[in-house]
Amino acid sequence: MEGPVQVLRGHLDDLLCCAVSSDLDLVASSSRSRGVILHSLMKGRFLRQLPGVGPADVLAISPEGVVVVWERQPRTLRAFTINGGAVAGVSISEEDGDVSGLQVSSNGLFLAVGTDCSRWRHVREKERQQELERAAVKAGEKVGLGKAGGERQERGGDLDGEKEETARGQGGEGGEAGEADRGSERQEGGGGNGEGGKMVAGAGDALADWRDTDEGGSRKERGSAVSLLDLFSLKALCRFKLPEGTDVTALALSADNTNLLCSTSADLAPGQLILYSNPLLSVKMVDQMLRLGWEGSEFASIF
């Protein structure tokens, strides 16, 4: 290979992603300034710019010439023909993550979509920390108010006690009444301290209640997954959920559409390669190999 075969012109800044189909002589590329542009691969000729499409983060081209576009900003997954006609479109919620991989089947009928929820998890973790901080501050304010109320009640009881001491020196009945009033005021002051104690105990309960609601409620994130869609309607046919904290980085589909290889990354664990296959086809393959004369020991070299 010597030098560039063609120079594809049309973008004014860095490319975000591209997809190539040598069978269709087609290149789809995306940038922030021009959106998605189609070029001829061999001639380098500008074909067209897809109408109404902004910067695409992931692109894929089917064998039949359907261009699949994922736009993160409006969070839409759309399919177009080479001529720019819209085929289908669907929105993806933030809880389902961002599309990180697209792979079209060799027959051009199905689309494999991998998602990445790392950005959503970081946002949820930040919200969780902020909510815990607000709950702690609120609980501290309640505790402070309870203690201040108790101190005010105690100071009021002391002043009333001094007045009753003066009254006791003037008359026995007044002294007894002052003693009774002083006792009642002290009980009220103790009630203020008691409420302050209740709020101290309730501070931890408030945090626990919020944490339980988050873990068991509807606010919990859905997580990353590998989904299979009908290409011409973009309706989900099946969904394979990944372990919590795992995200899809790339997808690859075999030529016979029987094996889907998924590359993953994780926050607290090393990435993995996950293979999704059709068990019925695997059984048929083993049965056919046995009929051709394969023996049990010979399978060890290929499995």
Q: Would you list the domain boundaries of the chain?
A: 15-118+223-301, 122-216
Displacement of CA 137 from its chain's centroid (Å): 28
Beta bridge partners, 172, equal: none
pLDDT at 169: 55
Q: What would the pLDDT profile of 5-61 be if each residue is shown by its tens digit?
A: 778 888 989 999 999 999 999 999 999 999 999 999 989 899 999 999 999 999 999
N-term to C-term CA, the chain: 37
Tell which residue, 89, 115, 86, has the closest CA to residue 102: 115
Which CATH class, in words, describes the domain spanning 15-118+223-301? mainly beta
Where helices occur in 224-300 by DSSP H, the ranges are: 279-291
Low pLDDT (below 70) residues in the chain:
1-3, 142-222, 268-269, 281-283, 294-303
Q: Are 26 and 64 within 8 A, CB to CB?
A: no
> Whole-angstrom Cα distance, residue 220 to residue 194?
37
| Virtual torsion, Cα 241, 76, 66, 250, nearest 10 deg | -40
The answer to whether 114 and 72 are in contact (CB under 8 A) is no
Reading across the β-sheet that carries 67-71, which strands appear in turn?
Answer: 58-61, 67-71, 76-80, 86-91
- Phi-psi group of 71: left, alpha or beta (phi > 0 → left; psi -120 to 50 → alpha; rest → beta): beta
